[in-house]
Structure 1
């Protein structure tokens, strides 16, 4: 799929980004208030904010998104990049778009001097986990949450 282009989210692309974002939330059976979606979008297009995003395009059709942020770390000088959201539309899955989005964030992370790029997924997400097992080393950590 050499006609796939991955590039940073642009301020005029909310109309194309939002269905991907809402599809991502729906996949995980989550909802957020519209104000949170608005706030997320504003942070994505604010160059001063650490959250960044990329969209995979085929022509003028947005097929997938990835959103990530660089944060400080106590274990290295360059910080770590957390890949928070990764989503590919169902009709575009199996075309290596997820792999290409991860590769793009990997290169960006290296350019930023990050020490680690990491992410998580739900146990049930077997399709994504098969990809992740091919492109990364599974971490031995167990995550705990306190909902606030």
Structure 2
């Protein structure tokens, strides 16, 4: 069996991280400019406002999770798992489940009251996992794009 590990990203992960993050954005129909990746990488490296973890199988980066915390009016701070992506050839091997567990562990250690995320209703493959590891509380997400 292959060794699966999850940890903070390092400088050596930068190129593969960008490839994975580009794949994530492609899935949602977005193409991002190079400076977007540079800004995100700088934020993740600082690990103050935004955080990133990487999943590796036998030492190769195959999955990423990006998350942040924010205040809540009804509880202690909460952790928002903003981006979760596994390389297509590594899917079905526990990578996303391990990343969710690692974010949950991080949030617990940082006194968050919960971890939450959103996905498209049509993302049935991901939702099969999400339905196993989390509660769908029936909320519908609305968004206003600003100029």
Q: With the length of structure 2 as denominator, give the TM-score of the two structures.
A: 0.94
Offset, 1:145: 0.9
Does residue 1:68 correspond to 2:29, yes or no? no
Cα distance between partner residues in 2 of 1:27 and 1:143: 18
1:53 deviation in Å? 0.5
Gaps of 5+ in 2: none
Counterpart selection for 1:141 from 132, 139, 142: 139
The equivalences for 1:108-147 within 5 A come to: 108-147=106-145
Pairing of 1:34-113 with structure 2 (within 5 A): 34-47=34-47, 49-77=48-76, 79-113=77-111
Q: CA deviation at 1:2?
A: 5.2
Q: Note if contact 2:2-2:57 (Cα within 8 Å) is conserved in structure 1.
A: no
| Alpha-carbon offset, residue 20 of structure 1 | 0.8
> What's the TM-score once normalised by structure 1's chain length?
0.93
Distance in 1, Cα, partners of 2:37 & 2:83: 13
How far off is 1:72 after superposition? 1.1
Alpha-carbon distance in structure 2 between the residues aligned to 1:87 and 1:20: 7
Kindly tell me the number of residue pairs found equivalent between the two proteins: 146
Deviates further, 79-88 or 29-38: 29-38
